[in-house]
Chain A
Amino acid sequence: MTAELGERPLLLHSLTFLDDGDEVVVGRRDIDSYGVFPSDGAALLRELVAGRGLEAAGEWYFETFGERVDLGEFVAVLHELSFIRAPTDPPAAQDDASTVSPRTHVPGQALGKAAFSNAAWLCYALIVLAAVWVCVLDSGLTPMPSHVFFSPYLAVIELVVVFGQTPLIALHEAFHVLAGRRLGLTTRVRLSYRFLTPVVETALDGLVTVPRRQRALPMLAGMLADVLAVSGLTLVAAATRRQDGTVSLLGGLCLALAFTTLPRIAWQFFLHLRTDLYHLVVLLTGCDDLHGAAKQVLLNQLNAAWGKREKVREDNVGSRRDRAAARWYAPLLLSGYVASVAMAAGIVLPLAWRFITMTIDRLTGSAASTATFWDAAVVLILTLFEFGLAGVLAWRERHQTPRHQDRDIPRRHQHDE
């Protein structure tokens, strides 16, 4: 993609364009860099992509919209988004105006299409229905809290849960990745945190370049994997019952893992933690950055209430629809955080304190047997490791260099006219 201004060529990378109401989302899927342009700005960019020179594009803009546009500022924005290609960079894959929305092939795309094909959906439905059926026939196979305690040793339980849930969490993220790759999007998986909890996170920022009706599946794919996991584990428990009808040791392990998958599904309803269902709400309400807009509303109200009017930001976060929706979402966001803090202070921390002190008693008590000692030691180490991991992840994210997508376009580009 090349535009020329006399002797100064403006080279552009391969870009995607998606019309979204009165705005256009433009971006580079290869590096996950995206910008939301007004329709006139996107039209100007399309002219540059089509090969019109910079000065000629400016004249075109004046003839079309009746105003002179600040081309220097516009080019600076394109630089900030890394849309402009250096002469030493490889040329765009397709160099003509008809391919402004290139179809990208990414590794795993075929597998992603297979994972969400009609045949796959039929298999998934059969697995879930079969699991429901065996639970109806034998209520003892329905995952219950009592299934978690299949061993008198807490360490055994916790080690099974840790090492058993790890591949199930990987399956959850794998479904997100496959759903994204199916659409030709790049994906990144990493450890992160939400409030006090470590999470595994799949970045699918490229979804903003996909029509909205196609975004729901990647968002819900993880929970689909969780439901399939619970169903599959229940079926294994049913298939490995002893001759007298009781659940075998393997079946017990499976039901323990099935039950401990349920809190992970329930956790998705904590919208204030920006879970998968939060992104679905954003999609269904036609919003873009609902959390950011609501957070800004709360901060502005807080600063105004404290008399710190100089800290009230006049520039706005998100789209107009985000700011309108933030009026009702901000109280929900605040309620969610209050509930999380209350639960941590009222339930988690007291229980954790009781648990740690009792465990230390077991470790140091003269009556402790070797088995009891190591049982308590392993549980204590695993529990402290989890909270420590959340703390390390939080520290790392606060101190790392912002990724390209995380950097805001300079505020001078964010003011509404």
Chain B
Amino acid sequence: MKKIVVRKPGTVRLTAMACYCYGCCCCGGRAAI
């Protein structure tokens, strides 16, 4: 007897980075210390 195969689609989760430690990792501004 045939089994109908059903799968779950991928999720769609749209994001915005909430990091504010910009000086540390992005623009090197912490060097100003």
Chain A interface residues toward B at CB < 8 A: 25, 34-38, 40-41, 44, 67-70, 73-74, 77, 81, 145, 148-149, 154, 157-158, 161-162, 165, 169, 172-173, 176, 191-192, 194, 197-205, 207-208, 218-219, 222, 226, 259-260, 263-264, 267, 273-276, 279, 282, 287-292, 318-319, 343, 347-348, 351-352, 354-355, 358, 382-383, 386, 405-406, 408-409, 412-417
B15 to chain A, nearest CB (A): 4
Contacts A264-B16, A348-B24, A355-B30 given: A205-B4 contact, CB under 8 Å?
A: no
Partner of B27, one of A145, A200, A273, A288: A145
A163 to chain B, nearest CB (A): 9
Total residues of chain B contacting the partner, CB 8 A: 32
Taking a contact as CB atoms under 8 Å apart, the answer to whether A276 and B15 are in contact is yes
Taking a contact as CB atoms under 8 Å apart, the answer to whether A198 and B18 are in contact is yes
Taking a contact as CB atoms under 8 Å apart, the answer to whether B24 and A355 are in contact is yes
Taking a contact as CB atoms under 8 Å apart, the answer to whether B14 and A318 are in contact is no
Taking a contact as CB atoms under 8 Å apart, the answer to whether B12 and A279 are in contact is yes
* Bound CA span A352–B30, Å: 9
Q: Sorted from nearest, which 10 A-B pairs have the closest CB atoms?
A: A289-B10, A41-B4, A172-B16, A199-B15, A198-B18, A263-B26, A208-B9, A348-B25, A267-B17, A70-B1
Secondary structure of the B side of the interface?
loop
Contacts A77-B6, A263-B27 given: A149-B14 contact, CB under 8 Å?
A: no
Chain B interface residues toward A at CB < 8 A: 1-30, 32-33
B14 to chain A, nearest CB (A): 5
Residues of B within 8 A of A158 (CB): 20, 23
Residues of B within 8 A of A161 (CB): 20, 22
Residues of B within 8 A of A162 (CB): 20
A272 to chain B, nearest CB (A): 13
Taking a contact as CB atoms under 8 Å apart, the answer to whether B10 and A194 are in contact is no
Secondary structure of the A side of the interface?
helix
Taking a contact as CB atoms under 8 Å apart, the answer to whether A352 and B16 are in contact is no
Residues of A within 8 A of B7 (CB): 35-36, 318-319, 409, 413-414
Residues of A within 8 A of B29 (CB): 145, 148-149
* Bound CA span A388–B12, Å: 26
Contacts A149-B29, A202-B13, A352-B24 given: A409-B19 contact, CB under 8 Å?
A: no
Q: Can you give 17 A-B contacts (C-beta < 8 A)?
A: A25-B9, A35-B8, A37-B6, A70-B4, A77-B6, A154-B23, A162-B20, A165-B20, A173-B14, A202-B13, A205-B11, A205-B13, A267-B17, A351-B24, A383-B24, A409-B6, A415-B5
Having A69-B2, A148-B29, A202-B14, one finds 9 other A-B pairs with CB under 8 Å, namely A35-B7, A35-B9, A38-B6, A149-B29, A259-B27, A355-B24, A408-B8, A417-B2, A417-B5
Taking a contact as CB atoms under 8 Å apart, the answer to whether B24 and A318 are in contact is no
Contacts A149-B29, A358-B33 given: A382-B5 contact, CB under 8 Å?
A: no
Taking a contact as CB atoms under 8 Å apart, the answer to whether A34 and B25 are in contact is no
Residues of B within 8 A of A319 (CB): 7
Taking a contact as CB atoms under 8 Å apart, the answer to whether B24 and A194 are in contact is no
Residue of B nearest to A160 (CB): B20
Taking a contact as CB atoms under 8 Å apart, the answer to whether B6 and A36 are in contact is yes
Residues of A within 8 A of B9 (CB): 25, 34-36, 205, 208, 288-289
Partner of B8, one of A34, A291, A351, A382: A34
